[in-house]
Structures are given as structure tokens and as C-alpha cells.
Amino acid sequence: MIELTGWEPLGISVDWAAIERELGVPLPTDYKELYEVFGGGVFSDSVYFLGRDEGPGTFDFLRQWRVGLSVDRDSKFGDVSAVAPYAVYAPGGKGLVEWGSTEWADEYFWLIDAERPGNYPILARSNDVDGWVRYDMSTAEFLCRVLADADFQPFGIAQYNLGMMFEPGSGAP
């Protein structure tokens, strides 16, 4: 990813232990490494990478997870989940945590199962696809394929020639 974007690593320090205690599971190692290099922000003017940007920006996956979990658990909304047929991950359970999206409303999640820590299949959905698509690959591989592989359909954006760049979010150092 560094070579693709020409990005100079930021070396962001994050208290991953505190975040993982709140979630009740460890996060994918490659995701943590990506975040420490890039922070939250936007790749190629269209792919949003969520991190732990605690500023007023929209790149904080933990804040979005908390809101999603709160809404998912709120009985006034009934039994309908924003990520149906799945649920938003709750500590100790099984569900989805969003880590990325696009300006075209594509969404990228990890399917987390507290009983299977270290196993993080990616579930993605798009307006162009009916339902969810599962990928058994790392966060970094998925993101790289979205950005650089024109044949990675329906999520690849390389065919649009948007350039390979990264713009940090408002919470970046």
C-alpha cells in the first residue's frame, strides 16, 4: 500500500489493547499496521478507510461501531438490523464491524466471532450487488485489490483511473 500510494508512514501510536478490551477480541494485525502507517482517511478520492481518529472527522471505526451497536440493540427499531441478515458485533458474540466504505455506498466489514479470534473474513456489500459478498483474505489484501485490481468486481475501482493517493482524515496527526 505504501508503494502504491507513495505515502510516507505516519507511525501513529494507538492503544490497541484498550480498543481490543472494549471489543472483546483482537483486531486484525494487518489492519492495525495499515492504520499506524496511514491513519483514517480516503484512498483515491473514493475509498474511506476507518481508523481510530478521535477528532470530529468521520474516520473513527470505534465510534461508528458504538453507534451501530446501540441502534442494533434499540428495541424501538424492532428486530431489523442495518446489516441484516447479520447483526452488529457485540462483545462476546458474532457480528459485523465496519472498517471501510466508498463514496458509492459500498461497505466493508469484518465478520467477527468472539469464539474464533484471529479469523476475520470480510463481508462487503454494494448497491450493484444483491446481498453480501464474502472474502477470505486480509484487510490489506482486500484494500489493495479494491484500489489496484481492475478485475476485482464488483468492488475494484482501478478501471476508473482515479490515481493511487491517500488523503488523511481530520483526526490525523
Task: Please report, for residues 22, 140, 145, 173, the alpha-carbon distance to residue 154 in angstroms, rounded to integers and kept in the order given.
Answer: 33, 17, 11, 33
Angle (CA) 100 163 160, round 5° = 80
By DSSP bridging, strand 132-135 and strand 122-125 are antiparallel
The pLDDT profile of the chain, 173 residues, written as one tens digit per residue, is 667 776 777 888 899 999 999 999 999 999 999 999 988 899 999 999 998 866 655 688 888 898 888 887 665 555 667 788 999 999 999 999 999 999 988 999 999 999 998 999 999 999 777 889 999 999 999 999 999 999 998 999 988 888 888 888 854 44
pTM of the model: 0.88
